[in-house]
C-alpha cells in the first residue's frame, strides 16, 4: 500500500514537472497573458473588479507561506516570474510591445513613437467607468515603462525591472514594516486602477 502511494506520488510529481515544463515553452499564441487571466468572464473587457480579483489571486499565489503577508523574497521571486512571462522572445529585455501584449491583450497597440514618451502617470481606469479600456491600459503601461526604463533606451532589462520593483515594494509597504499585507496590496492595486477612496 505504502509502495503504491510512493509510486503514485512520484507519478504526480512527474506530471507536475512535465506540466511546468510545458508552461515554460514560449509560444506567443499560447502563452497565458495577464490580460487573458484578468478577463475572467472572457467578454473582451477587463473591469476594475476583474483587475482587483486578478491581483487578489496573484497575492495568494505569491504568498508562499500563506500568512497574508509578502516578504521581499516572495515579492522578488514573483516579479522575476512576471519578467520571464512578459519577455516572450527571451532576449532578456522588455520592449513596450511585450509589456502591452502581456497586460493589455493582443488587440491593444503600441502608440506611435511621439506619443510613447510620457511622464504623465494615469490611472488604469482613467475615465472611471469601471472598465479598463485598451487605450487606458496602453497609456498606463507606456508611462510605467518610461519610469522603469532607467537609461531610457527603450528596453527594460532585468536589472532595471528589479530595481523598479524594489522601489515598488517600499511604496506598497505603507507602514514600512518590511512586509506587504493583503490590505496594503489591495490599496495599492485600487489606487493604480483609480478606484481608491482614501
How far is the CA of 138 from the CAs of 103, 106, 111, 153, in angstroms?
9, 11, 8, 19
Kindly state the smallest distance separating residue 15's Cβ from Ca ion, in Å. Answer: 30
Bridge partners of 158, per DSSP, are none
Q: Which is nearer to Ca ion, 14 or 89 (CB)?
A: 89
Out of 74, 79, 110, 149, the residue judged to bind Ca ion by CB under 5 A? 149
- Residues 23-42, one symbol each (x = binds Ca ion by CB under 5 A, - = not), give ----------------x-x-
79 scored as a contact of Ca ion (CB under 5 A):
no
Evaluate whether 29 touches 97 at the Cβ level (below 8 Å): no
- Taking alpha carbons only, the member of 38, 42, 32, 71 closest to residue 189 is 38
- Taking alpha carbons only, the member of 20, 178, 4, 168 closest to residue 84 is 20
Q: Which is nearer to Ca ion, 114 or 151 (CB)?
A: 151
Kindly state the smallest distance separating residue 72's Cβ from Ca ion, in Å. Answer: 11
Q: Which is nearer to Ca ion, 171 or 175 (CB)?
A: 175
Question: Which stretches of 25-120 are DSSP H helices?
Answer: 34-38, 48-62, 72-86, 96-104, 113-116
Site for Ca ion in 37-66 (CB under 5 A): 39, 41, 43, 45
The whole-angstrom separation of Cα 48 and Cα 112 is 26
Choose the stretch contacting Ca ion; rule: CB under 5 A; options: 7-15, 77-85, 87-95, 163-171: 87-95
Contact residues: Ca ion, CB under 5 A: 39, 41, 43, 45, 87, 89, 91, 149, 151, 153, 155, 173, 175, 177, 179
Amino acid at each position: 500500500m505504502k509502495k503504491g502511494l510512493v509510486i503514485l506520488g512520484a507519478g504526480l510529481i512527474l506530471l507536475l514537472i512535465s506540466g511546468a515544463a510545458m508552461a515554460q515553452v514560449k509560444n506567443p499564441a499560447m502563452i497565458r497573458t495577464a490580460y487573458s487571466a484578468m478577463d475572467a468572464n472572457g467578454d473582451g473587457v477587463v473591469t476594475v473588479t476583474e483587475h482587483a480579483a486578478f491581483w487578489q489571486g496573484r497575492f495568494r499565489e505569491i504568498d508562499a507561506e500563506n500568512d497574508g503577508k509578502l516578504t521581499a523574497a516572495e515579492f522578488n521571486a514573483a516579479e522575476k516570474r512576471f519578467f520571464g512571462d512578459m519577455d516572450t522572445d527571451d532576449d532578456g529585455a522588455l520592449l513596450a510591445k511585450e509589456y502591452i501584449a502581456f497586460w493589455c491583450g493582443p488587440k491593444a497597440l503600441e502608440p506611435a513613437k511621439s506619443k510613447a514618451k510620457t511622464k504623465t502617470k494615469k490611472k488604469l481606469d482613467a475615465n472611471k467607468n469601471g472598465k479598463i479600456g485598451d487605450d487606458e491600459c496602453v497609456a498606463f503601461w507606456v508611462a510605467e515603462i518610461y519610469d522603469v526604463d532607467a537609461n531610457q533606451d527603450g528596453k527594460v532589462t532585468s536589472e532595471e525591472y528589479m530595481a523598479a520593483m524594489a522601489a515598488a515594494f517600499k511604496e506598497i509597504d505603507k507602514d514600512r514594516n518590511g512586509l506587504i499585507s493583503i490590505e496594503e496590496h489591495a490599496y495599492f492595486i485600487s489606487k493604480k486602477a483609480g478606484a481608491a477612496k482614501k
